[in-house]
């Protein structure tokens, strides 16, 4: 059985055309769950008109929270997550499901160039995807895409890691790679969204920085902390050489840089051990 989960907040206009289009692309027994994240429009009426199951949050909790609610309620062995704003095309659902039939555990719709809402978001996504590819030593075509099909049992193992905000795709992608699960990418063309975006540029600037840190700490903390530690150490050596040659002494700044290098390295080791604890029970049934 397949479950389609759509997090939605004031997306009634998009859902009115999207829901019947989804129904045409999935088996008759597939369930469609709309997680209403505190909408104030007529989302409830649209869901009822098209036979979709609506799960309502009493107030807006965030995109990630809606994803978790949908994943917990879904009855299918396979869950397809997609946006309710019209960006994702239902015609691509069978292509994602084909990858799961081939043995992958998650199939992600990778947006092609020009699909992003703004050049800055496209550049940011490309930067994050390249950084994540370096972390996992595998090609990641789209790190932040919210259009994906997953095996429900494996997805639910990481629910406790997922944030309530918009960065859930990053977290689940890195978690699947760290766990050794198969991840495939399917090129898609994302359309222009209907309605108003809930993403704010200033807030997202900080969020994107935190995403980079999260990528490192989720997958391999030492790959993040070791270069920083090496940077402190090399700077300390260079500064010590300069002060020794010019003044003949070892300065407090050099000592501070060396101590920072040691502390950063030790933090990386501890973070590596903590990160490993998240994945220790993956082979046990829950």
Instruction: Classify domain 2-198 at the CATH topology level.
Output: Spore Coat Polysaccharide Biosynthesis Protein SpsA; Chain A (3.90.550)
d(CA 239, CA 246): 11
Please report where in the chains the tokens 């790959």 appear, as a residue.
223
77 touches 152 (CB < 8 A): yes
d(CA 146, CA 165): 12
| Token digits of residue 129 | 């995807």
- Residue 178, pLDDT score: 84
- Residue 64, pLDDT score: 92
173 touches 211 (CB < 8 A): no
- What pTM, to 2 d.p., does this model score? 0.81
| Token digits of residue 105 | 């555990």
- Residue 116, pLDDT score: 53
- Residue 223, pLDDT score: 82
- Residue 283, pLDDT score: 61
- Residue 261, pLDDT score: 95
- Residue 250, pLDDT score: 86
- Residue 45, pLDDT score: 95
For residue 177, the surrounding DSSP H or E stretch is helix 168-179
Distance set, CA 215 to CA 84, 206, 235 (Å): 26, 14, 26
The pairing of beta strand 106-111 with beta strand 183-188: parallel
Taking only the tens of pLDDT, the chain with its 286 residues reads 999 999 999 999 899 999 999 999 999 899 999 999 999 999 999 999 999 999 999 999 999 999 999 999 999 999 999 999 888 999 999 999 999 999 999 999 998 876 555 566 677 777 778 887 887 788 888 888 899 999 999 999 999 888 887 778 888 998 898 888 999 999 998 887 665 554 454 555 566 667 767 777 777 788 888 999 999 999 999 999 999 888 888 889 999 999 999 999 999 898 888 877 766 666 655 4
């Amino acid at each position: 059985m397949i479950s389609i989960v759509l997090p939605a907040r004031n997306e009634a206009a998009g859902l009115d055309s999207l829901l019947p289009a989804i129904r045409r692309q999935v088996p008759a027994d597939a369930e469609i769950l709309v997680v209403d994240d505190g909408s104030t429009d007529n989302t409830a009426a649209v869901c009822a008109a098209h036979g979709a199951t609506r799960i309502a949050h009493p107030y807006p909790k965030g995109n990630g929270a809606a994803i978790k609610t949908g994943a917990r309620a879904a009855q299918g062995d396979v869950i397809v997550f997609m946006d309710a704003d019209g960006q994702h095309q239902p015609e691509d659902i069978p292509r994602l499901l084909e990858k799961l039939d081939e043995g992958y555990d998650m199939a992600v719709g990778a947006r092609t160039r020009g699909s992003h809402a703004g050049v800055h978001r496209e550049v940011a996504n490309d930067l994050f995807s390249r950084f994540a590819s370096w972390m996992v030593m595998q090609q990641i075509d789209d790190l932040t895409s919210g259009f994906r099909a997953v095996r429900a049992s494996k997805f639910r193992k990481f629910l406790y890691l997922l944030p309530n905000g918009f960065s859930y795709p990053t977290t689940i992608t890195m978690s699947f790679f760290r766990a050794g699960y198969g991840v495939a990418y399917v090129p898609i063309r994302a359309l222009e969204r209907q309605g108003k975006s809930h993403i704010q540029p200033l807030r997202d600037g900080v969020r994107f920085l935190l995403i980079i840190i999260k990528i490192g700490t989720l997958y391999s903390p030492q790959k993040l902390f070791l270069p920083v530690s090496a940077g402190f150490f090399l700077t300390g050596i260079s500064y010590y050489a300069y002060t020794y040659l010019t003044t003949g002494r070892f300065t407090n700044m050099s000592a501070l840089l060396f101590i920072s290098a040691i502390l950063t390295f030790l933090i990386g080791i501890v973070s590596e051990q903590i990160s490993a604890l998240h994945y220790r029970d993956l082979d046990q049934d829950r």
